[in-house]
Amino acid sequence: MDSDFLLIQRMKNGDEGAVDTFVRRYYPTVLRYCRLHIRDQGYAEDLAQETFERFFRAFDRYRHYGKAANYLYVIAANVCRDHYGKRKMTASESLPEELACKEEDIEGRLDARAALDRLPPEIRETAVLFFCQEMTQKEIARILEIGVPLVKYRVRRARELLKAYLGEEGQK
């Protein structure tokens, strides 16, 4: 049995320490995910907290089918989308000023954030999950509720576009 399953079982049995462990385990990655979509650190923290609030509100209906992180990413994506709707933010406003991706994942360029800003929204979402959150294509497919072939296409297209955009930046 995986550690998430055991932790979830302890939480369902009312173990407050397990709840604390769960939040400490996943809060940093959920916050990072929210931060990749929202420029403001305060809003990102609010959205990360909202993600956990929604998780625990529906906890009695939660069924563990794999990694709890995947379920949290689904909730976080919905929370971020809700935030966009409320704030009417444009897609280019949705990434932080300093992208927290590994440099080697996108050619080591300092202008990676600007290149990501230029990606179409559906490709950007896939790119953030793949390059920045280091998720597998199968995990991304589950989170975005799309097929693996579409994820593969979007990752390939993101690579192509990022290389092209980064090449343009290098020529300026």
Contact predicate 11/22, CB 8 Å: yes
- Radius of gyration for the chain, computed over Cα atoms and rounded to the nearest angstrom: 17
Confidence of residue 131 (pLDDT cuts 50, 70, 90): confident
pTM of this structure = 0.60
Type of residue at 42: G
Query: Which of these ranges, 26-35, 83-92, 119-128, 157-166, has the smallest mean pLDDT?
Result: 83-92
Whole-angstrom distance, CA of residue 166 vs CA of residue 112: 7
Q: Which has more confidence, 171 or 67? A: 67
Fold observed for domain 98-172 = Arc Repressor Mutant, subunit A (1.10.10)
Q: Out of 51-65, 127-141, 158-172, pick the least confident.
A: 158-172
CB atoms within 10 A of CB 157: 16
More confident residue, 98 or 111: 111
Judge: domain 1-89, CATH 1.10.1740.10: yes
Q: Give me the phi and psi of 108, to 5 degrees please.
A: 65, 20
Task: Compute the distance between CA of residue 147 and CA of residue 12 in angstroms, rounded to an integer.
Answer: 32
Using the predicted structure, report yes or no on whether residue 141 has a pLDDT greater than 50.
yes
**Residue 71 and residue 85: Cα distance in Å, rounded?**
21
Tell me, yes or no, if the two domains 1-89 and 98-172 fold the same way.
Answer: no
Name the nearest CA neighbour of 137 among 104, 109, 112, 159: 159
In the chain, where the domains are located: 1-89, 98-172
